[in-house]
Amino acid sequence: MSQLADEPRIWIANPMAVFSGAMSGEDAERDCRGGVVVQGTRIVECVAGGQQASLPVDQIVDASDAVLLPGLINTHHHFYQTLTRCVPSAINQELFPWLQSLYPIWSGLSDKHIEAATELACWELMLSGCSTVADHHYVFNQGLSEAIDIQAEVVGRLGLRATLTRGSMSLSQKDGGLPPDSVVQTEQQILDDSLRLARRYHDAAEGSMLQLALAPCSPFSVTEDLMRETAILAKQQGLRLHTHLAETIDENEFCLRKLGMRPVDYLEHCDWMGPQTWLAHGIHFNSEEIHRLGQHQVGIAHCPTSNMLLASGICPTLDLAAAGCKVGLAVDGSASNDGSNMVQELRHSLLQQRLRYGASKITHQQVLHWATQGSAEVLGRQDIGVLAPGKQADLALYKLDELRFSGSHDPLAALVLCGASEVSKLMVAGKWVIEDPLQTREQLNELISRHQQLAKQLLA
The binding site for Zn ion (CB under 5 A) comprises: 280, 332
- With respect to Zn ion, which residue has the nearer C-beta, 255 or 388? 255
Q: Is 38 in a helix, a strand, or coil? A: strand
> Shortest gap between Cβ of 214 and Zn ion (angstroms)?
15
Instruction: Output the smallest distance, CB 337 to Zn ion, in A.
Output: 9
Q: Which amino acid is at 151?
A: Q
- Rounded to a whole number of angstroms, the minimum distance from the CB of residue 332 to Zn ion is 5
Tell me the residue length of the chain. Answer: 460
Nearer to Zn ion, 160 or 280 (CB): 280
Q: Give me the least distance between CB of 85 and Zn ion, in Å please.
A: 14
Inter-residue long-range contacts of 226-232, CB under 8 Å, 24+ positions, other chains counted: 226/168, 226/170, 226/187, 226/190, 226/191, 227/266, 227/270, 227/272, 228/270, 228/271, 229/187, 229/191, 230/168, 230/190, 230/191, 230/194, 231/270, 231/271, 231/272, 232/271
Task: Provide φ and ψ at 307, rounded to 5°.
Answer: -65, -30
Residue (217 or 231) nearer to Zn ion, CB: 217
Alpha helices in 172-278 (DSSP H): 187-201, 224-237, 249-254, 263-269
Nearest approach in angstroms of CB 375 to Zn ion is 15
State the minimum distance, in angstroms, from the CB of residue 78 to Zn ion.
6
Residues with Cβ within 8 Å of residue 159, at least 6 apart in sequence: 428, 429, 431, 433
Query: Where do the DSSP E strands lie in 200-355?
Result: 210-216, 240-245, 277-281, 299-302, 326-329
Beta bridge partners of 166: 137, 214
- DSSP state letter for 48: P
Q: Smaller CB distance to Zn ion: residue 239 or 331?
A: 331
CB of 415 to Zn ion, least distance (A): 26
Termini Cα distance of the chain:
57
Q: How far is the CB of 14 from Zn ion (least distance, A)?
A: 39
Rounded to the nearest whole angstrom, what is the least distance from the CB of residue 167 to Zn ion in the complex? 9
How many CA atoms, within 13 angstroms, populate the side-chain half-sphere of residue 102? Answer: 25
Q: In angstroms, rounded to a whole number, what is the distance separating the alpha carbons of residues 158 and 82?
A: 18
CB nearer Zn ion, residue 280 or residue 414: 280
Give the 3-state secondary structure of residue 142. Answer: coil
Query: What is the C-alpha to C-alpha distance for residues 202 and 213, in angstroms, rounded to an integer?
Result: 8
Single-letter code of the amino acid located at 80: Y
**Residue 35 amino acid letter:** G
Of 414, 403, 416, nearest in space to 349 by CA: 416
Nearer to Zn ion, 14 or 312 (CB): 312
Show Cβ contacts of residue 153 under 8 Å, excluding neighbours closer than 6 positions. Answer: 115
Minimum CB distance to Zn ion, residue 358 (Å): 28
Planar angle of CA 253, 241, 145, nearest 5 degrees: 95
Minimum separation from the CB atom of position 187 to Zn ion (A): 22
* Smallest gap from residue 41 Cβ to Zn ion (A): 30
DSSP assignment letter at 5: H
| Residue nearer to Zn ion on the CB measure, 76 or 451 | 76
In the bound state with Zn ion, the residue whose beta carbon lies nearer, of 254 and 405, is 254
Q: Which is nearer to Zn ion, 20 or 305 (CB)?
A: 305
